[in-house]
Amino acid sequence: MRVADFEIEPPEPPLRAPHCVAMLRPWINVGNVGHHVVSRLARIYRADEIGRLSRPSRFYDFTRYRPEIRIESGERAFRVPNTVVLAGRSPDGEGPDMVLLYMLEPHSQAEDYNDSVVALLGHLGVERYVLVGGMYDSVPHSRPLMVTGSARNWTPPESFGGVRLGRSGYQGPTSLTSQLSERFHRDVGLETLSLIVRLPLYLKLEDDYNGSTKLLEALSDLYGFSGDFPEQEMARQQYAQVDPALDANPQLKELVSKFEADYDSKIAGEPPEPTRLAPEIEKFLDEVSGRDDGDEGGGSQSGGV
């Protein structure tokens, strides 16, 4: 059946008090953390695809998001970039069912795209919208990663998953699709939650499993599913390779030491001392940040949520 710009097959029986966990690519998906979190939830909730945009070319420029040809079971398959919707049942039958949304940021008609997502979640009876993702920040890999965010229209449990909730002070570029949280809060009256993990800007890992782990741990605290998942061991192995690399890079080692001092001051509730970096460190940071493409949502201040 058609719901706004989505073609869906509603699950039977209907979902029970579902919540939606969404990721937005490429914006606010550095380290692929949003993608990995939603993919792990799809396994936990045994979710199946129930729909996607019926005509994705209405929203996407396929010279920027390229379709792909794959060989599957010996046959050529044509894959078209799209926003994909999955639905799954609560693992214990007691918690809310789950709608999972792999959102691909539109290049045009973003207002219509947002309208379609609002209509879709309304049709499925979603009661809470949760946006997960990651952004780069001046944080060290040698400390527990911080997860920040905000909750509206409901009161979360205190300190679930070590998440720091509050109002965002971010100012700068954003994605029009980021307005969805505000629309669900203000216009629809849904409960909303954003969970953004802060990743070390100097690592630039294509797949940051430590970031994915922190978000999954927070969600397991909130929803009660098992807190054991493969990403934890993958994260340990991945970050264990960083310290040997520091020994070979004195500039990076000095930078990490400064980030550690700032991090420890924040945890202790003390105002951090102004960070004064050597000129060569400033140059190093500029070069690292300069590798980001704004369209990929990878800057140290990307996200705007």
In tens, the pLDDT along 7-65 reads 999 999 999 999 999 999 999 999 999 999 999 999 999 999 999 999 999 999 999 99
Are β-strands 19-25 and 128-137 bridged in parallel, bridged antiparallel, or unpaired?
parallel
Q: Which of 140-144, 282-286, 300-304 has the lowest mean pLDDT?
A: 300-304
Confidence at residue 268, expressed as pLDDT on a 0 to 100 scale: 78
Q: What is the pLDDT of residues 264-278, one digit of tens each?
A: 988 877 655 555 555
For residue 102, what pLDDT band results from cuts at 50, 70 and 90? very high
Question: What is residue 121's predicted lDDT score, i.e. its pLDDT?
Answer: 98
Q: What is the pLDDT of residue 273?
A: 56
Element (H, E) at 29: none
83 vs 77, residue with greater confidence:
83
More confident site: 141 or 281: 141
Token pair of 97 as six digits: 């069912």
Q: Check pLDDT > 80 for residue 221.
A: yes
pLDDT band of 302, cuts 50, 70, 90: very low
Strands 164-165 and 147-152: what pairing?
parallel
Is residue 303 scored above 70 in pLDDT? Answer: no
Q: What is the pLDDT of residue 287?
A: 55
Please say whether the beta carbons of 86 and 46 come within 8 A: no
User: Per DSSP, what are the bridge partners of residue 71?
Assistant: 76
pTM: 0.87
Taking residue 76's Cβ as centre, other Cβ atoms within 10 Å add up to 8
User: What confidence tier does 286 reach under pLDDT thresholds 50, 70, 90?
Assistant: low
Q: Supply the CATH classification number for the domain 2-240.
A: 3.40.50.10900
* Dist CA 23 CA 67 (whole Å): 20
* pLDDT band for position 152 (cuts 50, 70, 90): very high
Q: How high is the pLDDT of residue 292?
A: 42
247 confidence band (pLDDT: 50, 70, 90) = confident
- For residue 98 the two structure tokens come to 């789950």
- What average pLDDT does the structure give for the chain? 88
Residue 207, pLDDT > 50, answer yes
R_g of the chain, CA atoms, integer Å: 20
**Mean pLDDT within 218-240:** 92
